[in-house]
């Protein structure tokens, strides 16, 4: 069974639980490390928990959620080896995987998306990294870590 790690703060509880249920319906095992309560928690802590768990291995990718998706994606992208995308639609989610081989995807629980966030997640899941010239660019992105 394919495994996914997920974490969220208080600003995205409803969307996180909706996505978790959707992923489980699709046959994924979801390790949900986020809160199910609306009491305030800090999104950098949630990003760190998810990334540290992801690094243990056997995960396909991670899903991160906060109020806008911005803070948690920035936090995750500060951590070595992470390429967390914050797509605004299905096309961007597809490109995040095909061209950037993103290993995390982020969403905002308080964002009014033009497309259903579940459809955006599905676009990401159904896409595959194209390699080739894109690998050269990813290598350059990853070489920027620590500069």
How far is residue 20's CA from residue 91's CA, in Å, rounded to a whole number? 22
What is the strand order of the sheet 59-66 is part of? 29-32, 3-8, 59-66, 104-108, 84-85
Q: What is the pLDDT of residue 73?
A: 98
Tens of pLDDT, residues 131-146 = 999 999 999 999 999 8
Q: Under 8 Å CB-to-CB from 50, ≥6 apart: which residues?
A: 5, 6, 7, 33, 62, 64, 76, 104
Distances (CA, A) of 37 to 6, 10, 17: 15, 6, 11
Please state the domain extents for the chain: 3-143
- Looking at domain 3-143, its CATH architecture is 3-Layer(aba) Sandwich (3.40)
Question: What residues act catalytically?
Answer: 66, 99
Strand partners, 108: 66
Q: Per residue in 61-93, pLDDT tens?
A: 999 999 999 999 999 999 999 999 999 999 999
Question: What pTM did the predictor assign?
Answer: 0.97
Report the alpha-carbon distance of residue 49 to residue 133 in Å, rounded.
Answer: 32
The Cα 60–Cα 54 span in angstroms is: 9
**pLDDT by residue (tens digit) across 23-50?**
999 999 999 999 999 999 999 999 999 9
Q: Which residues 6+ apart lie within 8 Å of 111 measured at CB?
A: 68, 69
């Amino acid at each position: 069974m394919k495994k996914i790690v997920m974490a969220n703060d208080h600003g995205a509880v409803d969307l996180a639980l909706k996505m978790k249920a959707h992923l489980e319906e699709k046959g994924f095992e979801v390790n949900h490390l986020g809160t199910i309560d609306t009491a305030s928690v800090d999104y950098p802590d949630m990003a760190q928990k998810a990334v540290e768990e992801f690094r243990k291995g056997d995960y396909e990718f991670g899903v991160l959620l906060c109020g806008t998706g911005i803070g948690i994606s920035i936090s995750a992208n500060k951590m070595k080896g992470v390429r967390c995308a914050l797509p605004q639609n299905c096309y961007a989610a597809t490109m995040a995987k095909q061209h950037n081989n993103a290993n995390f995807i982020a969403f905002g629980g308080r964002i009014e998306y033009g497309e259903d966030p579940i459809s955006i997640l599905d676009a990401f899941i159904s896409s595959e990294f194209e390699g080739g010239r894109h690998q050269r660019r990813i290598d350059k992105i990853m070489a920027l870590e620590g500069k």
